[in-house]
Amino acid sequence: MIGAGMPKAQHGAAPRKTIRVSDFRQSAVTGAPRLSCLLEGEGLPERLWFDIQSGAVGPLALTEPNWAAIALIYPAMLTGRDLRIEASLSPRLLSALRGDLQDLLLAYDPRLRRIGIHAQAGILPPELQTTGGAASGFSGGVDSFATWLLYTRPDVPAALRLTHVSLHNVGAFGPRAGAQAAFAASARRHAEFAAGQGLAALQVDSNLDDLFRPIDPNFDHSHSLRNVAVAHIFADSLQYYLCSSAYPYDQIGIAGLRAAKALSTAYLDPLLLPLLSTERLTVISAGAGLTRQDKIALLADDPLAQRQLDVCTSSPAERARAGRLNCSDCKKCQRTIVTLDALGKLDRFAAVFDVEGYRARRRKVLSRIHRKALSGSTTDRAVMVVLRREGVRVPELWPRVAALAVRGLTLLRLRR
């Protein structure tokens, strides 16, 4: 008899390969709690593990390891292998794993294949917790600063008010072998921020990227799934996990990511995250009603953001050469600087951006953003909207383009 959630094999077809997940255990590594499970399948690490380096509050989710299912669904679908989890999962999550979650991921990434999910549905206790905390990832970027500001306001319901901020080493810092220094530096800033705001700091190291990297090293393709998997480790202590949105509602969905010609789960979050929730832990897309420029305006007057905003995509070496937290020259830095400049708030961020250097090359930066916007970049178009709204004069591109075209035609005629 075929197990629930397992696709029927075609007559004469070879049995489908399976990723088997078992032996869920909690141990200690150098004094820190480690949650792990055994993985059986070609090309996989022997064990998937998560080290809780800071902020272990209460019991970890061992008897209902929903974190393992969320961590493995994308690699399993990418390699076309059924997922056999030898444990009980949340009935709500298990239903999504077998149905709507796969449907959404299949529409999102055409490389994926439908798979079977073999696991037992857990038996819900008569009463579920209703007094857990609320956590959100905090990197110091625009999105996470905005979530912190939005969910610590006095008018936020008590259950949704942030009690924890988390930091996860699951691929955002690059390959794990070379990511420890960057993660440690971020962890120090993260702990200082949490302590200063009276929040608990959840910091988790993991080998999850070792699972993804051989089959798809691009962190953006699966970052929501990776981070939510970590959140479920603390499902017995948290009631809400707030994923900071990256795109507003009018850009989300399959049409949004196709228009952007990008593959990132950030375009799916308001659709995806409810499917990753359980009876115990509700996952929310926080701030999805705001554009990135709205969020920059929200944090522009905040003293902490003015000292700690970190939007840079450059390497630590490039940041070190800049002598500031941000290089001030990568695309994300430039878009943020230009937005703050348009709002008249840039000087307040001199501690984290090279304001004088930007002003020396301001015309060039504005021209690049203008050019990118005209070529179809939705992120640069959003910056242009703010520039025009605030009455900022942007260098005209067409006279320069026309002059180059005339020069090219002249040279062509001369060669003839």
Q: Is the pLDDT reported for residue 261 higher than 90? A: no
Average of pLDDT values for 242-248? 95
Long-range contact set of residues 37-41: C-beta below 8 Å, sequence gap at least 24: 37/65, 37/68, 39/72, 39/211, 41/17, 41/81
Sheet with strand 133-137: strands edge to edge? 117-121, 82-89, 18-29, 32-40, 47-54, 200-206, 164-169, 133-137, 238-244, 282-286
Tens-digit pLDDT profile for residues 158-173: 999 999 999 999 999 9
Least confident of 79-88, 105-114, 253-262, 283-292: 253-262
Tens-digit pLDDT profile for residues 318-355: 888 888 889 999 999 999 999 999 999 999 999 999 99
Angle of helix 292-299 relative to helix 378-389, nearest 10 degrees, comes to 50
Q: Which residues, 6 or more positions from 31, have their beta carbon under 8 angstroms from its beta carbon?
A: none
Rounded to 5°, angle at Cα 287 from 112 and 202:
75
- At residue 124, the pLDDT reads 73
- At residue 10, the pLDDT reads 46
Between 126 and 301, the higher pLDDT residue:
301
From residue 397, alpha-carbon distances to 278, 373, 410 in Å are 52, 11, 20
Using CA atoms, how far apart are residues 315 and 329, in angstroms rounded to an integer? 12
Quickly count: other Cβ atoms within 10 Å of residue 234's Cβ.
Answer: 27
Angle of helix 91-98 relative to helix 66-79, nearest 10 degrees, comes to 10
Quickly count: other Cβ atoms within 10 Å of residue 197's Cβ.
Answer: 14
Residue 2 binned pLDDT confidence (cut-offs 50, 70, 90): very low
Average of pLDDT values for 211-220? 94
Average pLDDT over all residues of the chain: 89
The phi and psi torsions of 33 (rounded to 5 degrees) equal -65, 140
- At residue 254, the pLDDT reads 94
Ordered domains of the chain (ranges, CATH): 18-121 (no CATH), 133-286 (3.40.50), 292-398 (no CATH)
**308, 277, 312: which is closest to 165 by C-alpha?**
308
Between 377 and 106, the higher pLDDT residue:
106
3-state SS string for the chain = CCCCCCCCCCCCCCCCCEEEEEEEEEEEECCEEEEEEEEECCCCCCEEEEEEEECCCCCCCCCCCHHHHHHHHHHHHHHCCEEEEEEEECHHHHHHHHCHHHHHHHHHCCCCCCCCEEEEECCCCCCCCCCCEEEEECCCCHHHHHHHHHCCCCCCCHHHCCCEEEEEECCCCCCHHHHHHHHHHHHHHHHHHHHHHCCEEEEEEECHHHHHCCCCCCHHHCHHHHHHHHHHHHCCCEEEEEEECCCCHHHCCHHHHHHHCCCCHHHCHHHHHHHHCCCCCEEEEECCCCCHHHHHHHHCCCHHHHHHCCCCCCCHHHHHHHCCCCCCCCHHHHHHHHHHHHCCCHHHHCCCCCHHHHHHCHHHHHHHHHHHHHCCCHHHHHHHHHHHHCCCCCCCCHHHHHHHHHHHHHHHHHHC
- At residue 318, the pLDDT reads 84
How far apart are the two ends of the chain, measured CA to CA in Å?
A: 78
Tens-digit pLDDT profile for residues 140-155: 999 999 999 999 999 9
Between 336 and 395, the higher pLDDT residue:
336
- At residue 376, the pLDDT reads 83
